[in-house]
Structure 1
Amino acid sequence: MLRLVVLVSGGGSNFSDLLRRTRAGRVPAEVIAVGADRECGGIEIAQAAGIPTFVEPFAPPRDAWSERIADRIAAFEPDVVVLSGFMRLLSPAAVARFEPAMLNTHPAFLPEFPGAHGVRDALAAGATETGASVIIVDSGVDTGPILAQRRVPVLPDDTEADLHERIKLVERELLADVLTGIGDGSIDLADHGLEQRLDRQEEAQ
């Protein structure tokens, strides 16, 4: 069974869904700790469920803060780190400590609409469809290898909140599928990590 550390920054709705799936045995994983950069709803959900938590408030410089939160994560010896609505960028050195076993969900069909406002950007662009993606975190912004993604239509009367809620439903399913694949061996993160390193070498040449 996979040991998961989950990082959150907000209300924790996606984390709450993941927790329900793991505890119901629908995802072969256990959430062993939840961390955040601030006190938030996700931390409260974890505490109510009896899961160890930690909060490492952001303070510059980013590299030093990133190392502190990476140390907190590493103390739990997770198999996979899941960023679930975590809104801070970790330093490349901190990411490298867990790569390729750090995953993130993103509310767009990457490489379309990367960044913190993927849903808003899709609406502003007049897109008729967007999507959801699960990726391996790398040192860029939503640039890591894509493990799973699915299209989501944009409806004519969609608000940002409406569209985001529909995307979240897909994000949750995709994350559960990816974690199940890692757990049963059908997804090998090491292969994706090798692919990522080769891509970097080619870019450097």
Structure 2
Amino acid sequence: MSKVKAAVFASGTGSNFETIMKCDDLACEVVLLICDKPGARVIEKASRCNVQTFVLNPKSFDSKEAYEQEILRMLQAAEIEWIFLAGYMRIVGKTLLEAYEGKIVNIHPSLLPAFPGKDAIGQAYRAGAAVTGVTVHFIDEGVDTGPIIAQEQIDVLPDDTEETLKARIQKVEHVLYPAVINQLLSTTD
């Protein structure tokens, strides 16, 4: 039996993409990378993993809807069933939300609802938070407001810098995200 086909959306370095791709027992096959940033390091990682990649600059489209319609066309052509956001720095709009309702998952470097949006690690660090963490959640039309699937707490240590905190958060992300993906796919067969 063939595995469920999934796409990863990413905008940056692709550390979570790389972790997902290295997972030997992943319950899906990642067959597509959607990237909104030409030159992002994740593109090179996808190439090394032989994952088909589409790089679409949103500014090349007349509207967000036109941008997402093009992505939707690619997803449908590849028979994608699930979308996993891994550092995708765009708000997903109505076109994709409706087509993939309940099938778009994001990972966020804070304990939502605390510190939503960009630079969550920096927000937590500058706020002097005693704890932060990682959240995996379904997405909705808001910014990091969708139903939470899993969270893992991380203490902010007295000698942490923003960089050391980020490194510890990423270690948790790299274990939690593949585990949650497998859990979700095992319960939706």
TM-score (norm 2): 0.91
Is the CA contact 1:80–1:102 (under 8 Å) kept in the aligned structure 2?
A: yes
1:67 Cα deviation from its structure 2 partner: 2.4
Q: Partner residue of 2:180?
A: 178
Q: What is the rounded CA distance, in whole Å, between the counterparts of 2:163 and 2:72 in structure 1?
A: 32
Moved more, 53-62 or 29-38: 53-62
Q: Partner residue of 1:202?
A: none
Q: What is the rounded CA distance, in whole Å, between the counterparts of 1:2 and 1:107 in structure 2?
A: 26
1:5-55 CA deviation, whole Å, 9 max, x = no partner?
A: 00111111111011000xx2x222211111101221111111122111111
1:82 Cα deviation from its structure 2 partner: 0.5
Q: What is the rounded CA distance, in whole Å, between the counterparts of 2:51 and 2:94 in structure 1?
A: 28
1:61 Cα deviation from its structure 2 partner: 2.5
2:182 counterpart letter in structure 1: T
Number of residues paired by the alignment?
Answer: 184
1:8 counterpart letter in structure 2: A
Q: What is the rounded CA distance, in whole Å, between the counterparts of 2:69 and 2:161 in structure 1?
A: 38
1:147 Cα deviation from its structure 2 partner: 0.6
Q: Partner residue of 2:73?
A: 71
Identical-pair percentage = 35
SS at match of 2:58: coil
1:79 counterpart letter in structure 2: E
1:109-164 CA deviation, whole Å, 9 max, x = no partner?
A: 01111111111111111101101000001110000010111101111122222211
1:179 Cα deviation from its structure 2 partner: 1.2
Match of 1:80 among 73, 82, 94: 82
Q: What is the rounded CA distance, in whole Å, between the counterparts of 2:64 and 2:85 in structure 1?
A: 17
1:73 Cα deviation from its structure 2 partner: 2.3
Q: Partner residue of 1:157?
A: 159
Moved more, 66-75 or 138-147: 66-75
Q: Partner residue of 2:138?
A: 136
Q: What is the rounded CA distance, in whole Å, between the counterparts of 1:159 and 1:92 in structure 2?
A: 38
Q: What is the rounded CA distance, in whole Å, between the counterparts of 2:112 and 2:76 in structure 1?
A: 28
SS at match of 1:183: helix
Q: Partner residue of 1:32?
A: 31
Is the CA contact 1:63–1:90 (under 8 Å) kept in the aligned structure 2?
A: no
1:89 counterpart letter in structure 2: I
Q: Partner residue of 2:57?
A: 57
1:184/1:94 Cα in 2 relative to 1: closer, same or farther (>3 Å)? closer
Structure 2: state its 5+ residue gaps.
none
Match of 2:4 among 2, 19, 30: 2
Q: What is the rounded CA distance, in whole Å, between the counterparts of 2:4 and 2:176 in structure 1?
A: 17
Q: What is the rounded CA distance, in whole Å, between the counterparts of 2:49 and 2:96 in structure 1?
A: 28
Q: What is the rounded CA distance, in whole Å, between the counterparts of 2:64 and 2:163 in structure 1?
A: 30
Q: What is the rounded CA distance, in whole Å, between the counterparts of 2:87 and 2:43 in structure 1?
A: 12
1:45 pairs with 2:49: no
1:85 Cα deviation from its structure 2 partner: 0.7
Is the CA contact 2:136–2:177 (under 8 Å) kept in the aligned structure 1?
A: yes
1:62 Cα deviation from its structure 2 partner: 2.3
1:95 Cα deviation from its structure 2 partner: 1.7
2:28 counterpart letter in structure 1: A
Once superposed, which parts of structure 1, at least 4 consecutive aligned residues long, lie more than 3 Å away?
none
